[in-house]
Structure 1
Amino acid sequence: MLSKGNYALNCNMASSVAFQNGYKMPIVGLGTWQAESEKEMETALDVALTAGYRHIDTAYLYNNERLIGNVLKKWLDSGKIKREELFIVTKLPQIGMTAEKVPHFVKKSLESLQLTYIDLYLAHAPFGIQYVDDETLFPMKDGKVLMDYSTDLTAIWKSLEKEVDAGRIRSLGISNFNESQVQRICSIARHKPMNQQIEIHAYFQNKNLRQVCEKFGISVVAYAPIGSPGRKEFLKARGWGDFETNGILEDPVVAKIGKKYGKSTAQVLLRFLVQQGIAVIPKRSKGNSVSELIQRF
């Protein structure tokens, strides 16, 4: 529950989540999904890094790793920031969900980000899509995505572990894995998953899956922590159906809390998760801005 006493606490980028392997991840990160414009990405990252963000979340699927890498190189070359201060997250695409393709896509992400290692590398989803080429992320036939039904999660994980052994990845994680898939990976892993990235917000708290992750010592990052208002536009642009926004940003209870504490509804929703120890990766969108979200919530 929010109260005047605990609301004054500064839930900022300095707070972190500890992994079992000793590494720490800042509890607040900058989400970059749908940020493909060079100007948009550069502006958002500059504002975020200036404000203290050190956790940046991207993915091969987002098609913006190279833009992020250019900004990070600028900051690193300037001496304003050191590599060890950054926590960079990216993800294995669904078209790379084979043991043989893992090293290829890890290498491509490292090259684009202009880094020698990735702090946290996630399997973006527990299923594969047929590989055509590096640019065709969703190959289609007769209006349907070409799924790869031979996906072997165990083989993929073992291939990912070799990337950790080689020093190209510091921590491994998963995303969108269900309870049985989490248990399957943990039962065979030498390098255990340190993190699971899943949809969580006040309307969808995903408690059962969170409990399974907690059982195995896996920390959790909430994507869509303010309800993913940009999802409607994303799906519509690809002809994948409609998505009715859940209205969480306009919820009267959330608005009432925000008014009481002088915060936006987005900040209230983020605080609700962070004070439970759940990391969040809000992104800039038409409904909010980096400058708003970086304020204390």
Structure 2
Amino acid sequence: MHLTNLHTHTKYCDGKYSAEDMIIAAINNNMQSIGISTHGPLPFASDWNIQKMEVDNYIDEIINLKQKYNGTIEVYLGMELDYLPGIGFDEYTLDLIKRLDYYIGSVHFLAKFNNGVMWTVDYNLDELMKGIDESFNGNIRIAVETYYDYIGEMALEYKPHIIGHFDLFKKNNINNILFDENEKWYIDAVEKCLSIIAKTPCIVEINTGGIARGYTNEQYPSTFILKMIKEKDIPVIINSDAHSTDGINCKFEDIYKLVYDLGFEKISYLSENGWKNQIIKIV
């Protein structure tokens, strides 16, 4: 199989290591390719995204590393880009996409606090609850449904190559403190979003980053959602959302087995000739 990971972060954003460190970790784990996908710049202040002044340096560095490791591992230039409420992808981001080999489209930001600062679904529970109180009058259901509406909008309008951590909202839902994933309204929101994605060429990633960093015990998306993805014939890719070298292939063997057991026959990967599918092989 073509072993790969297209969701990795570096010191340009909130990652712990350099791009070259991540590439070497991929080589040491017998991967055939790796994508570097630093968090893209935002139109407002953020300490976990690359700054615009660093974008050219980032692109130049990855291009140089492609050449340096040519013949050893395929290196791809990517970014994880944020779909923003009321904005989508701004003009700067749309121009930036043209310079990349691929990008991951993700929804982190859901709305603004009363002071105008935008908040995310995945920082911590206190911020999330404050955001839901101020932006959705405390209605968790509407907040969650809005989150999935945004993912659907992003998929339909921009068709990102990869949709990142589909059910990220569950990160702070430990012990169902916010909602129960078995509730009909939640399943309906997921199904509605997946039905939209199924009409696009987007690939949904199976992301082990929550496990790697100790936030969750399960991959994104949850197993019951993977079954829905399989039923809708939506392509998938396995990524680890690695923020450190030791997370480069977190739980990959387990996830390959999981998707195989769920009946997936193929997974996607990026090649020098574009996107391809490969048969899942379990050793």
Taking structure 2 as the reference length, what is the TM-score of the superposition?
A: 0.49
Structure showing greater radius of gyration is: 1
The normalised TM-score by structure 1 is 0.47
